[in-house]
Structure 1
Amino acid sequence: MNKTDLQITFAGNPVTIVGNKINVGDKAPDFTVINEKLEPVKLSDYDGKVKVLVIYPSIDTGVCAAQNRRFNVEANNLKDVVVLSISVDLPFAQSRFCGAEGLENIITLSDHKDLDFGEKYGFVIDEFRLLTRGTVIIDKDNTVKYVEYVPEITNDPDYDGALNAAKELI
């Protein structure tokens, strides 16, 4: 895997991010992840929709949980937009969390099996085999319109920046 030039830290310590870094203006690469039924899901399954990709290390941490709660609430204000929540958590953990929290407006997807998303979008933390935190907004024509790789993994993403980018595409 390619090492990116991203300067990302986890609790202040540098980590190595690998994969192909994605940029605004890129054609969004298709990828395959798995859903709660262990079925393959592709980005192309959502062609013709604005896509908000919410990326995080683990659903069972405070910041990741808050990130999913926030985007679940905001999904109500984003008509004709699909919010895809992606981590390497097992689909069972993602489903358990969303069920316990009553999160019904996001679609949780696991990159655990192949890291296909993480490699194609440059979100893999090499040291931990987890995804780093960030957000990617993709328009209806599958062009990347917004990318954030959060510099410190324990921090929240720029919710306003991501949500404003998504709203501009509606």
Structure 2
Amino acid sequence: MTQERTGVATLKGSPITLIGPALKAGDQAPDFVLSKNLVEEVSLSDYAGKIKLISVVPSLDTGVCDAQTRRFNTEAAELGDDVVILTVSVDLPFAQARWCGAAGIDRVITLSDHKTASFGEAYGVLIKELRLDMRSIFVIDQNDKLTYVEYLSEMGEHPNYEAAIAAVKELL
């Protein structure tokens, strides 16, 4: 049975239900399958040996998601080749590619959870009522252990960028 979490998140103050577990630092990162484009899929093992910052956004075409992805794209330049920054949303790969081109995003890898929403369920961010993934941040070390987890309680708020980047830098 799929776990449902209530009372932990809102959208403009209205309660929403998150599907999946509440992960925490120290947990093994769940595997995932996400679409890189229409035909190519990737999983956690595709980034083996790298430090992974996963920035989860509901949709790139909204203000906070746009700002969040731009911020991590800028930060990526300072972090080097041992770090990969993945932005996950349920946007279609076409929309992600269009948005990245228009926004000049060239360091963050956008991945889509649109087919099965399995990332959302595995990481506890799938919003039952909307079939979107809730804004959140996960930092995963080279051995696929979670070292930093931030679940936002209100969808429209920004994550703690400084804390997420600090968590990555601690692993370098």
Letter in 2 for 1:78: L
Deviations 1:58-92 (A, max 9, x none): 01000000000000000011111000000000011
Change in Cα spacing, 1:6 to 1:41, as seen in structure 2 (3 Å) is: farther
Corresponding position of 2:92: 90
After the TM superposition, which of the residue ranges 144-153 and 35-44 deviates more from structure 2? 35-44
DSSP-derived class of the 1:156 partner: coil
Report the CA distance between 1:23 and its aligned residue: 1.1
After the TM superposition, which of the residue ranges 6-15 and 76-85 deviates more from structure 2? 6-15
Structure 2 CA distance for aligned equivalents of residues 112 and 164 of structure 1: 30
Letter in 1 for 2:33: T
The equivalences for 1:103-142 within 5 A come to: 103-142=105-144
Letter in 2 for 1:42: S
Letter in 1 for 2:113: D
Deviations 1:120-142 (A, max 9, x none): 11000100000000100000010
1:29 maps to 2:33 = no
Report the CA distance between 1:38 and its aligned residue: 3.0
Residues 58, 89 of structure 2: 8 Å contact kept:
yes
The equivalences for 1:1-170 within 5 A come to: 1-4=2-5, 7-79=8-80, 80-170=82-172
Cα RMSD, aligned residues only: 1.0
Change in Cα spacing, 1:164 to 1:6, as seen in structure 2 (3 Å) is: farther
Report the CA distance between 1:36 and its aligned residue: 2.3
Give the TM-score taking structure 2 as reference length: 0.96
Structure 1 CA distance for aligned equivalents of residues 103 and 6 of structure 2: 36
DSSP-derived class of the 1:4 partner: strand
Report the CA distance between 1:7 and its aligned residue: 1.0
Where does the alignment leave 5 or more consecutive residues of structure 1 unmatched?
none
Deviations 1:89-140 (A, max 9, x none): 0011111000011100000000000111111110001000000001000000
Letter in 1 for 2:143: D
Extract structure 1 runs of 4+ deviating beyond 4 A. none
How many matched pairs? 170
